[in-house]
């Protein structure tokens, strides 16, 4: 039983950065922008988040540094793809390369340092309930924040007028422009939100997951977050399922390796990535009918004036 509890706790922790980053990317893509630079924004968020926390001694300041770093990097992307109408795929890949380099530079001074990880919630009585107590009431604050974020994004997209306008920009930017909506401004804001989420997701890794910074510590999580958005068919609710599923694969393969299952460890470590590929293939095969990808996703828009 203790093992089950431990597994669930570590699955939640492993899933949270995926969920936060994917939620941000979902909003960006719903506005019609494909930002492939999630990995780059995450790793810069991790470096800056750790740096902020190490220098200030505060997890909150660390998280804020991660958010701001991700947002600034996403602004570079917005300037290129929205301001200068550069190809989004190429810009996104370039952003990842830039982010990886930049994080190494920023984080160079912090390698080998340790910080106090983010405190876990403790409600006397509730947290002490056996089995479910720690899972429901004893997590780090980011986990609750990530779930609140998904609910907020869902409410924004489907229950508010600005959310409707954002979805409209992603469906048909020509129509949205013709009706008088500032397509490029809305998209810039969506890209910045995506950047902020990616930065926070990256910062989660050194702030709560492992209390130190190593270069390349995002280890492809940004790419998994991208795949998750497709897996969720751009619906926030399904994102939660997807993120926890991928988190579970990541953790279970570790335990399987620990238990000495006779499969090469390299294969087991590749499982989450393999699962990403398989899910992407299955989804693209099973796609039918209406609400799939935002119709204007990844297309360049230049308004006529």
Asked if residues 170 and 297 have their Cβ atoms less than 8 Å apart, the reply is yes
Q: Which is nearer to another protein, 2 or 304 (CB)?
A: 304
Q: Which is nearer to another protein, 5 or 171 (CB)?
A: 171
End-to-end distance of the chain based on CA atoms, in angstroms?
A: 66
Q: Which is nearer to another protein, 164 or 261 (CB)?
A: 164
Q: Shortest distance, CB of residue 297 to another protein, whole angstroms?
A: 11
Q: Shortest distance, CB of residue 28 to another protein, whole angstroms?
A: 17
Q: Shortest distance, CB of residue 2 to another protein, whole angstroms?
A: 47
Is 286 buried (19+), middle (13-18) or exposed (0-12) by CB count in 10 A?
exposed
Give contact residues for another protein (rule: CB under 8 A): 161, 164-165, 167-168, 171-172, 174-181, 287-291, 294-295, 304-305
Other beta carbons less than 10 A from residue 288's beta carbon:
6
Residues 71-94, buried b or exposed e (16+ Cβ, 10 A)?
Answer: bbbbebbbebbbeeeeebeebbeb
Q: Shortest distance, CB of residue 298 to another protein, whole angstroms?
A: 16
Q: Shortest distance, CB of residue 187 to another protein, whole angstroms?
A: 15
Q: Which is nearer to another protein, 164 or 281 (CB)?
A: 164
Instruction: Tell me the helices (H) and strands (E) count for the chain, helix number first.
Output: 12, 0
Both tokens of residue 7? 């597994």
Q: Which is nearer to another protein, 236 or 294 (CB)?
A: 294
């Amino acid at each position: 039983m203790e093992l089950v509890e431990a597994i669930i706790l570590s699955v939640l922790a492993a899933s949270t950065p995926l969920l936060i980053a994917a939620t941000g990317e979902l909003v960006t893509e719903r506005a019609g922008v494909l930002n492939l630079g999630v990995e780059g924004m995450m790793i810069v968020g991790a470096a800056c988040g750790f740096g902020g926390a190490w220098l200030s001694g505060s997890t909150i300041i660390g998280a804020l540094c991660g958010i701001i770093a991700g947002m600034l990097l996403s602004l570079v992307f917005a300037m290129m793809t929205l301001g200068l109408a550069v190809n989004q795929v190429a810009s996104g890949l370039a952003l990842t390369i830039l982010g990886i380099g930049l994080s190494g530079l920023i984080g160079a001074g912090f390698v080998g340092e340790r910080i106090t990880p983010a405190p876990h919630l403790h409600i006397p009585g509730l947290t002490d309930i056996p089995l479910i107590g720690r899972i429901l009431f004893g997590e780090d604050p980011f986990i609750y924040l990530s779930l609140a974020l998904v609910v907020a994004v869902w409410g924004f997209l489907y229950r508010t007028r600005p959310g409707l306008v954002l979805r409209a920009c992603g469906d048909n930017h020509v129509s949205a422009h013709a009706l008088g909506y500032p397509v490029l401004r809305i998209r810039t804001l969506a890209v910045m939100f995506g950047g902020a989420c990616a930065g926070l997701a990256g910062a989660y890794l050194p702030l709560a997951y492992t209390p130190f910074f190593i270069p390349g510590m995002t280890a492809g999580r940004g790419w998994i977050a991208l795949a998750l958005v497709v897996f969720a068919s751009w619906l926030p609710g399904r994102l939660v399922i997807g993120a926890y599923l991928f988190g579970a694969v990541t953790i279970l393969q570790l335990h399987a390796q620990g238990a000495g299952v006779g499969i090469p460890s390299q294969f087991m470590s590749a499982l989450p990535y393999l699962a990403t590929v398989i899910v992407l293939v299955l989804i693209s095969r099973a796609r039918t009918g209406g609400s799939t990808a935002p119709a204007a996703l990844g297309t360049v828009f230049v308004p006529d004036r």
